[in-house]
Structure 1
Amino acid sequence: MATIERLKKRPDFLAAAAGRRYHTDRMTAQGLLRAGEADGLRLGFTVTKRVGHATERNRIKRRLRAAVAEVAAGLPADLADRTADIVLVARRPALTAAFATLTDDLRQAIPAVTRPGKPGPGEAGGRSRSSSSRSGKRVAAPSAPPNKCVGVPDGQ
């Protein structure tokens, strides 16, 4: 059985937020491989006030901790020995989702965000940031040179 440590310090949460992401309807997993530290996975939970009242947020965290404990028992050795930080950002549907659905989400999210290999240049979280037509950015048409009137004769 793999042991998964807990993330407790804010800088660790912020560092994991800069890594890869895996989204589901119930949660977002953010993960970052660590270098030069002790082996093993470390996991943290974030449930914002937008999700609900304190009792609902605590219940979501308890459900996620139980799902992590179940998934950790079945993690392959190579995955359990990776040195990575993972943050689970829960959403409202995690409160009412079936427990099996939460464990399935975690089984898919953990390998996705702890995948070895470095993102290429200009990529954050494994996504390309190129300026293609699919990026939604518009390219401005070339404008007239500054300080020059176009279409107006001199002296008017």
Structure 2
Amino acid sequence: MTPPEAPENIPGNTPPAVSVCLEILKNRSDFLAAARAQRQATPSVVVQARNRNDEETHIGVGFTCSKKVGNAVARNRAKRRLREAARAILPETGRPGWDYVLIGRAEITATRPFDRLQQDLQGALHRLHAKP
């Protein structure tokens, strides 16, 4: 006996939009290419962005925190918060064909209220894309 198929109209049955459009950057060369391109700083996050100028429609995103942020626990917490903010903001505000590197800032990224962190990220993206 096979299990019945799940109805298609149940909320949460479709994959999240994030999994469809965001791709995690893993290669050092991608991080360095973004570092050579545009940069926008906010109180809680630094955003580096580059237009890949290719036919791909996904949004590339990478996360990093230096040891200035704190010990491994603090760095991982900051990166988790940046990942969650990126999942919420980048599908709406980011542009397909672009790579973004989010860099955590010392003591602020891990402790800033999450709604303010999201506002900082959204503001940085608007300023990046407003540049000529």
The reply to whether TM is greater than 0.5 is: yes
RMSD of aligned C-alpha atoms? Answer: 1.9
Distance in 2 separating the partners of 1:115 and 1:33: 14
- Give 1:1-156 correspondences, 5 Å limit: 1=17, 3-72=21-90, 75=92, 79-80=94-95, 82-92=96-106, 93-114=108-129, 117=132
Seen in structure 2, the aligned counterparts of structure 1 residues 26 and 52 have a Cα distance that, compared at 3 Å, is same
**Structure 2: stretches of 5+ with no match in the other structure:** 1-16
Count of residue correspondences? 113
Distance in 1 separating the partners of 2:33 and 2:60: 12
Partner-residue secondary structure (3-state), 1:21: strand
- Shift of the alpha carbon at 1:115? 5.3
Map Cα deviations across residues 70-128 of structure 1 (whole Å, 9 max, x no partner): 2245x15xx54x311111111020111000011111112223334585xxxxxxxxxxx
Question: Among the aligned pairs, what percent are the same residue?
Answer: 36
TM-score, scaled relative to structure 2:
0.76
Higher gyration radius (CA): 1
Q: Which has the higher helix share?
A: 2
